[in-house]
Amino acid sequence: MSIQTWRWLVGVLLVLGLQACNSEARMPSVSLEQARVEHESGKVLMIDIREPQEHATGVAQGVVLLPMSQVAQRVAEIPKQADQPVLLICNTQNRSRAVTEALQEQGFTNIRYVDGGMSEWAKLGWPMVKPQDLLAPGKS
């Protein structure tokens, strides 16, 4: 792992620690139900930041796969325009919340995280597909 990746991950872990200490911290989030509606209607770009072994368990159809461990190197691939809403989803919302905060500190204003994450998506029995490969945001 590069030094840049390590710095990114340490920063995210620090954010997670601070959030655990500050239960009143509010981040821009969206409910799982709202995320599904917005994603399936094409109103948002949803990025699954789980790692490849987690993606292998199944992903939402049409989601972009960008593992958290690669975000620091690939941040330029995440749309930053205010008119392109982006939802981050992980397994439970802890990592996506931390990455949302880290991206906001870099000037992103269009990022929200999904409450509940893919673990809740799976529990609800919502459709999931096996990923073919990792796709960069905005590419097919």
CATH number at residue 30: 3.40.250.10
Q: Give the list of residues 6+ apart from residue 127 with CB closer than 8 angstroms, or none.
A: 60, 61
Instruction: Give the number of other Cβ atoms within 10 Å of residue 26's Cβ.
Output: 6
H or E segment and range at residue 71 = helix 68-74
Number of folded domains that form the chain: 1
Strand segments (E) across the chain: 29-30, 45-48, 64-65, 86-89, 111-114
Residue 129 in any domain: the answer is: no
pLDDT in tens, the chain (140 residues): 677 666 666 666 665 555 544 444 456 999 999 999 999 999 999 999 999 999 999 999 999 999 999 999 999 999 999 999 999 999 999 999 999 999 999 999 999 999 999 999 999 999 999 987 445 455 54
Instruction: Enter the pTM of the model.
Output: 0.78
Instruction: Give the number of other Cβ atoms within 10 Å of residue 45's Cβ.
Output: 20
Residue 130 in any domain: the answer is: no
Residue 135 in any domain: the answer is: no
